[in-house]
Structures are given as C-alpha cells and as structure tokens.
Structure 1
C-alpha cells in the first residue's frame, strides 16, 4: 500500500502525472506519423515537445487530447483513460488559430470559456479581468478583425485559460509572434505553472524549450529520441573548455586533447573525463600562462544535434523566424 487510499503504485502514478502515454502509434493509410511514442508529464511542470515540422508533434498532442484515436497504444490524461472525460479541465490552443472576426475580444474569450462549461456572464467577468491583468483592458470591445496576428493570438490564449484549466496544451504557440508577444507568452506560461497548472507545448524553436521547460521529449520522424529532464539531455555531452594562453607551445600542450579547435592562442575542447583539476595542474606546471579559462555546459541545441542528428537540427534551423 502507498497511502493513497490503499490503491497501490498505479494510483500514486496517476496522482503525480498529468499525462502518461505508452507506445502511441498513429497510421494514416500507409504512412506512420507517430511510431511508438511514450512520455510522462509530471503535474505542475512545463513540458516541451521538441522537433522539426512533420516530426509528429501535433498528431501526438491530438492523440493525448482524444481529438483523434491512436492506432495502438494507451494514454492517461489527468487520471482519465478516456481523455475526453478530462476536457473541462483542459485548455487547448491548436496550431490552426480560429476566432470569429466580428466578435469583440471580451465576447471571444467568454465564448471559449462557455465551450468549457462557464456561463457567459462569468466568462465575460473573467475576460475583463484577464484583459486588465495583461494591460489590455482597452481591447475588450475591439472586434477581432481589427487586431494584428499577434494581438489576436493573445486573445485566443486568454480564451484558452479563461476557465482556469489544470492542464494547458499549446501547439506551436510562438509561431508568428513578434519578440514582445513571445516574451508575454513565456511569462504567461511561467505564471500558470507557478499557479499549479501543467503546461505542455510543442515547438520547433529550441530557445523557447531551453528557457521554459523542466522536461522535454525530442521527437524526430515520429519517434521519441529522448524523454526526460533538460539537464539530462545536456549531460549527454561533456562540458566545453575555452582557454586562452600567453604561450603558444610548451610541455602543457600534452594536456590539450587531440582534435582541439584552435585559433592562435585560443583553444576549445571537451573537458577531459579526469575533470578540471588535472587539466589546470598540467597547464600551470607546464607554463601555459593562462589568460582566460571558462568551462561551459553544452546548450540544448548541442544536445539536440547529438540526440536527433544533423538533419533534424538543420530542419529546425530552417524554420526559426528571422
């Protein structure tokens, strides 16, 4: 027994995990879009699905939400084996945006809340509060058709959270947003997580995942290449040493690994497995004349390349807005 009403480990797992998927497969005719995706999203975390367009991220999210059924595999969402039963507790922003152009912002947000069970009066009250909270109170009576793409997406995001969902699912939420609206969205995601909501979003922009996510799944060609903590993904690569010396040669050169990138008296290489202390001792005793030395952890981009491969990384780079 585990203390959760005597229901055992399975009950504890459901209590701690907002989403769990095991072996999800989705075939469209002869095409396999998702091939055995398994992942676990702890409650109250920010979780990213990271991969290039066409990797299977959107199809995976739609299966998790019960919008489409998997060809095989299982998923549990907020404790429900049928994701549709959890729908009132979920806020979902699809990749394809859609608002009625003639609606005012307040009415659009209230309408989206009504789809999740709010009364229209309560939805309007919450819409006014959300718009004011984000410094957008003057937008309440603006028709959607008068808004820029970024402004309209902000309204749709507010509609996604107006019913105070426990799980927020965002499909490529940063696509098409300028830097100001991207920063606004990032802060909104952090705020909802601090309030206890679980946020899962898909993206092909590594920087967003690196800044926001505690855990990620890297998806390439319909398969999960990595699933776990961001720090664990980075740990797959050794730290990088960046060194500048006064001297170009000497006994200390034996401490520099083969394949080191060099330019003049600047050196860049992976930290040896023996760690920094033997390296420092060899440089000092050998008379390198250290001017600067920095040991840097690899970024998520480097980890992504190592895990998913150069082709997937190149596809991600091509899709980043300029």
Structure 2
C-alpha cells in the first residue's frame, strides 16, 4: 500500500505557480526523499500532502484519508521553520508536542525521558530550551515529532543548520524509525543525504517532478564510467578505445561500452598496452541529478549547500 498518493497537485501564489501538476506515491515503510533546490516547490508540496494548505487542483490521500486532517494523529511533522517555547524544559517540550497529537502528558513525559536518553540528551531533559545549543534544540523538536509513535513522519529540510555530528545522529534516527515500519518522507536540497538514506526519491525543479523512482533507477540513467591507465602511451590498441574516451593524465576515461569491458580488455592486452589500473565506477546521484534536472538546476543546488560546522 501507499502511505501517500498525490495526483496532479497545483498551487499558485500571487498568480505564480509554485507547484505545477505534481504526482507521486510514497510506499508504506519507505524512506522517501523529495530532492530539489530551494524554491522548487518542495515545502508547498509537503504542506498540501499534510492538508495544511489545499491545492488549487489535483487530489491527495494521506494514510488512506482523502481529508488529511483525519490522519493527523498518525503523522509526525517537523516544519522547516523551527519553533519551541524557550522556557520549557526539553522533557516538557517533547511531551507537549505529543499532547498536540493526542498523547496524554504523563505518558508523554515517560516517553520523552526515554527518547532524550537514547539521543544522548538525558542530562539535559530538565534544562530550558533556551540553554541548549541549536543542534540539541533541533533534536528535541525532532523527538517531539515522533513521541506519539506516528505511522508517517514528514520532515521539511531536517538537516538544515546541523553540524556533521548531529546530521549523523538524525540519519541514525531516521533509519531506526524505518526499521520499525514507519514511513519517512523528507525534503532536502543536499544530494548526499538522499543518496545515503532513501530507497526512493522524487526530483523536483520548477514546481514539477522531473524523476520519481529508486536511487538505483536514477543512477541507471547513466552508464558506468571506466578509467584505465596503461604503461604504453601509444600503439595499435588505441583504436580499441571508445570514441568518447577523454585523456586523464596517463590514462583515459569513458562510458562503459554497451558490449561490456571484456572486448576492450582483450584488445589492450593483445596490443601490449600494459594495463596498470582499471576501474569501473557507477554514477553517483549527483551525476544522475545533473542528467535529469539539468546542469543549471544542479549548480543552483550546489550553491545552496551549507558549510559543515
């Protein structure tokens, strides 16, 4: 079954289309990433899926409900705009967010203590939010997103502003939720997070879905890259190199021929090229993103990367 189904979602603001006919399906239990640059329509799409705003056209179902609000108690949502009451303690903040989804405060406090301990924040559970670091406060808000044990977690740019250590903790938490059968949907403009975490992705640019499928399917749009270095600089064997071969120092790189690498290897060996190294590298998700969305969109995405703290 699908946790989320969207068909032809359209949304305009001040006469400008932010989302232009987006359709996607998020399978239950999957980690699904919505990947694209800032301004691509990711946040607007998530808000329509959750029922925070209504589409101008199209329809969506959330956990089988045509009216997403009916599934709200089964959803955990971390918006891009973070917000906690600074005077609340970490424990009370987590319990309070659970109460907003129907979890009794007493049970919320018990679960909050366990979650904070597991996240390495047990010693901070009674400290006010205003005394915590940004990364710690963001972790507290994330724990509040899952304390009521939702079936679906939706995270809007969850890695924004986190240092490498806290990014790693968040990735671990996402994987842990998925192991328990929870569906995780998150948006990001950082390709590395999607590549490490996601089973399926949707690439969005200009308010439209450019690709929807598995990470392997995205990579599969490009042929693997071959890199070979030889002792001999020239010889009759050079004719065996593909026409797209590019010189790299003392070697060459080119797309893996459709016939495979074996005929090329035989020609190089028989011709006395003297193979020093040969590698076959699968394209990364960044390469696939460039091929799918275009170099201009990929450059925009790269320019939005945050420096690692």
Superposition TM-score, scaled by structure 1 size: 0.94
1:303 aligns with one of 282, 288, 291? 288
Distance 2:209 2:79 in 1: 21
Instruction: Measure, in 2, the Cα distance between the counterparts of 1:285 and 1:216.
Output: 44
- Kindly provide the CA deviation profile for residues 88-122 of structure 1, in whole angstroms up to 9, marking residues without a partner as x: 00000000000000000000000000000001101
- Aligned match of 1:207 in 176, 180, 192? 192
Q: How does 1:252-291 map to 2 (within 5 A)?
A: 252-291=237-276
Partner of 2:143: 158
Asked if 1:53 is matched to 2:38, the reply is yes
Q: How far apart in 2 are the matches of 1:106 and 1:176?
A: 22
Task: Give deviations 1:152-180, integer Å, cap 9, x for gaps.
Answer: 00000000000000000000000000000
What SS is found at the alignment partner of 1:258?
coil
Structure 1, 274-283 or 302-311: larger mean CA deviation? 274-283
Deviation at 1:267, TM superposition (A): 1.0
- For the pair 1:145 / 2:130, whether they are aligned, the reply is yes
Paired with 1:141 and 1:186, the residues of 2 have a C-alpha distance of 25
List structure 1 runs of 4+ shifted beyond 4 angstroms: none
1:248/1:264 contact within 8 Å kept: no
CA deviation map 1:223-273 (0-9, x unaligned):
000000100000000000011111111122112122322133221111111
- Structure 1: stretches of 5+ with no match in the other structure: 1-15
Residue-by-residue CA offset, 1:187-225 (whole Å, 9 max, x unaligned): 000000001000000000000000000000000000000
TM-score for both structures, normalised by structure 2:
0.98
Does 2:222 correspond to 1:234? no
**Partner of 2:81: helix, strand, or coil?**
coil
Among 114, 118, 121, which residue is 1:133 paired with?
118
* Aligned match of 2:279: 294
**Matches of 1:64 and 1:290 in 2, distance apart?**
54
> Could you tell me whether the CA contact under 8 Å between 1:251 and 1:287 is conserved in 2?
no
Distance 1:201 1:242 in 2: 35
Distance 1:314 1:55 in 2: 14
The two structures, once aligned, show a CA RMSD in angstroms of: 0.8
How far apart are the structure 1 equivalents of 2:177 and 2:240? 49
1:188-199 correspondence to structure 2 within 5 Å: 188-199=173-184
Q: 1:40 aligns with which of 15, 20, 25?
A: 25
Q: Secondary structure at the match of 1:79?
A: coil
Moved more, 296-305 or 282-291: 282-291
Counterpart of 2:7 in 1: which secondary structure?
strand
Structure 2 gaps of 5+ residues are none
Q: 1:104 corresponds to which residue?
A: 89
C-alpha deviation, 1:44, in angstroms: 0.5
Provide the secondary structure at the position in 2 that maps to 1:173: coil
Deviation digits for residues 255-297 of structure 1 (CA, Å, limit 9, x no counterpart): 2122322133221111111111112122212221111111010
Query: Which residue in 2 is equivalent to 1:113?
Result: 98
Q: Which moved more, 1:134-143 or 1:164-173?
A: 134-143
* Residues paired across the two proteins, number: 307
